[in-house]
Structure 1
Amino acid sequence: MSARQNTTLGVWLMIAVTFVFAMQDGISRHLAGEYNVFMVVMIRYWFFASFVIVLASRMAGGLKNAARSGATKMQIFRGALLSLEIFVAIMSFVLLGLVEAHAVFATYPLLIAALSGPVLGEKVGWRRWVAIGIGFVGVLVILEPGFGVFRPEALMSVLAAFMFALYGLLTRYVARYDSAAVSFFWTGVTGAVVTTAVGVWFWEPMSAGDWGWMGLLCITSASSHFLLIKAYEVAEANAIQPFAYLQLVFASVIGITIFGETLRPNVAVGAAIVVCAGLFTLWRARIAAQRG
């Protein structure tokens, strides 16, 4: 298969990933609006961890090889961080809505660029710093602080974006020591332990219909990660990463059509600023990588 064919397939896989992620977020918003968010995330992680363990057991070396890490403590911290980020993100969907929560969450590539220096020791040029600054102007446009409509719960989306950006950087850090399969294993298992330690105290009965939605959430959670791994297998990350912003579009459509949310003008303008700034930082990162 040619490089062009690989990139094309990678793009389509990334589009599929963003659509499945958006569906996952919509289902999470529904379930967390009816039941305790800790329980919802715990059940989701039970399925995810089971999927990861089955996948690892069928690979060469089995579970022992999948669990062998050169950065075990960092893998545990990284997995715990992601599980806590999911708690925060889903609560922001419930309190703020999918449209506004995703508009703010779209800043995570900018945060990755900003934090790549102190966390990974990477050099960030002045052009990317300018883009990062412009992106956060977009966040201010979305949140409208000082105009009488700012809601403190909007900061949950900012926190979720920060946590996910740090998780992304730590994923790149542990990649220096471990394979993607090892990181995937620790993500699922650590997350299951953390969410169970919290969620088991918040168990409540769930209707038969919502168990169906819970099952679909579990399936989308596992399939989205599988598709994402495949996307990065067939194409370079910097070629397909810009298409990750389609999750904002898909999630907004779900929020408006299913949950009756509205797209306020300031949110649309702010999100456009954030996305343009993010795309610019990705482009500059690609140029820097090619020069390196």
Structure 2
Amino acid sequence: MFVPKAHNPALAALLILVATAFIAATTLLAKALGTDTLGPPLNPLQISHGRFLFAFTALLSVAAVVRPRISAPHWRLHLGRTLFGWMGVTLMFASVAFIPLSDATAISFLNPVFAMMLAIPLLGEKVGPVRWSAAAIALAGALILLRPTPATFQPAALLALGAACVMGLELIFIKKLSGREPVFQILLVNNMIGLCIATVAVLTVWQPPTAAQWGALAALGLLMACAQTLFVNAMARADASFVAPFSYATLIMAALYDFAGFGVVPDAVSVLGASVILTGALLLAWREGRVRRA
């Protein structure tokens, strides 16, 4: 019988903050792998394959030691969640090779906005004027980051926008999965299915990585597994509306990593666009919290 975690907001906040540092680090590694920093650039499909390969290996090693009890997984929900998660992370890894990490990260924060919109036809949820306003504000921020003028338009930003939309679909499946199965089982099944999908997808683009790239792929997978574990455990210990604002620290971490690793400094447009997206996302998180309490 699955027993929910005890409510502990302080611990949840700490877990999320550590997870944001790990998640931002994975995008930095993806950028290094997708450019010529560590050798010939790897295809995003190969980067996401490495992410699932090493994450699943780490989780499987833990399972061999702790031997968790595995209940019957809801395979259809797991498959849907993992398919969209794999697509989202692959698009995200593709985008960070061309645009600043802070821009890609800020655009990725649109996924709860897309999830809200998709929940109307898929979950039958009703959306009021406050949540529609929050969505409009966040989408305006994304439009700013796209820089929609002939001289400044960033086509690669559309990859990050696509990642946010697909990850919004993933959130729908996560909502359906929440509370059904233990955290570790969800992570293990997710990464197992993800590895199967990624292995088939990478066959046509595989190239031998350099030693440095193998190390970066391993680090990316391990960091993602740790971040997933921390994030899911945080969500189990506090309301989503409380946890969400702390997750936006990923943007700060990504900007710091991008500056330290590649000397990229966010310009005024990046700061403005990210600020507008965060405003909309925080308003949506606040409204979601009030809806749940009501």
> TM > 0.5 between the two?
yes
Report 1:76-91 matches (<5 A): 76-91=79-94
Alignment root-mean-square deviation, CA: 2.2
Q: State the aligned residue count.
A: 284
Give the aligned partner of residue 26 of structure 1. 28
User: Could you tell me which amino acid in structure 1 is paired with residue 22 of structure 2?
Assistant: V
Cα distance change of structure 1 residues 203 and 104 upon mapping to structure 2, 3 Å threshold: same
Give the aligned partner of residue 14 of structure 2. 12
- 136-145 or 191-200, larger mean C-alpha shift: 136-145
Give the aligned partner of residue 157 of structure 2. 154
Structure with more of its chain in helix, by fraction: 1
Report 1:29-178 matches (<5 A): 29-33=31-35, 34-56=41-63, 58-62=66-70, 65=71, 68-69=72-73, 71-146=74-149, 148-175=151-178, 177-178=180-181
Cα distance change of structure 1 residues 4 and 37 upon mapping to structure 2, 3 Å threshold: closer
TM-score using structure 1 length: 0.89
In 2: Cα distance, 1:255 partner to 1:211 partner: 21
After the TM superposition, which segments of 4 or more aligned residues of structure 1 sit over 6 Å from their partners? none
Residue 203 of structure 2 aligns to a residue whose secondary structure is: helix
Question: Given that residues 136 and 274 in structure 1 are in contact (C-alpha distance below 8 angstroms), is that contact kept between their aligned partners in structure 2?
Answer: yes
Cα distance change of structure 1 residues 178 and 276 upon mapping to structure 2, 3 Å threshold: same
Q: CA deviation at 1:110?
A: 1.9
State the Cα deviation string for residues 259-285 of structure 1 (Å, max 9, x = none): 122312122111101101110111011
Question: Given that residues 112 and 165 in structure 1 are in contact (C-alpha distance below 8 angstroms), is that contact kept between their aligned partners in structure 2?
Answer: yes
Residue 201 of structure 1 aligns to a residue whose secondary structure is: coil
- 219-228 or 189-198, larger mean C-alpha shift: 219-228
Which runs of 5 or more structure 1 residues have no equivalent in the other structure?
none
In 1: Cα distance, 2:185 partner to 2:157 partner: 34
In 2: Cα distance, 1:219 partner to 1:4 partner: 26
Question: Given that residues 142 and 270 in structure 1 are in contact (C-alpha distance below 8 angstroms), is that contact kept between their aligned partners in structure 2?
Answer: yes
State the Cα deviation string for residues 69-102 of structure 1 (Å, max 9, x = none): 3x42232122121112111110000022312212
Report 1:233-272 matches (<5 A): 233-272=236-275
In 2: Cα distance, 1:59 partner to 1:235 partner: 27
Q: CA deviation at 1:198?
A: 1.4
In 2: Cα distance, 1:87 partner to 1:185 partner: 19
In 1: Cα distance, 2:250 partner to 2:194 partner: 23
Indicate the percent of aligned positions where both proteins have the same amino acid.
23
- 215-224 or 232-241, larger mean C-alpha shift: 232-241
State the Cα deviation string for residues 144-166 of structure 1 (Å, max 9, x = none): 21353112221111100001111
In 2: Cα distance, 1:268 partner to 1:173 partner: 35
Give the aligned partner of residue 206 of structure 2. 203
Question: Given that residues 183 and 233 in structure 2 are in contact (C-alpha distance below 8 angstroms), is that contact kept between their aligned partners in structure 1?
Answer: no
In 1: Cα distance, 2:30 partner to 2:218 partner: 11
Q: CA deviation at 1:120?
A: 1.7
In 2: Cα distance, 1:24 partner to 1:235 partner: 25
- 190-199 or 230-239, larger mean C-alpha shift: 230-239
Give the aligned partner of residue 276 of structure 1. 279
Residue 30 of structure 2 aligns to a residue whose secondary structure is: helix
Cα distance change of structure 1 residues 119 and 183 upon mapping to structure 2, 3 Å threshold: farther
TM-score using structure 2 length: 0.88
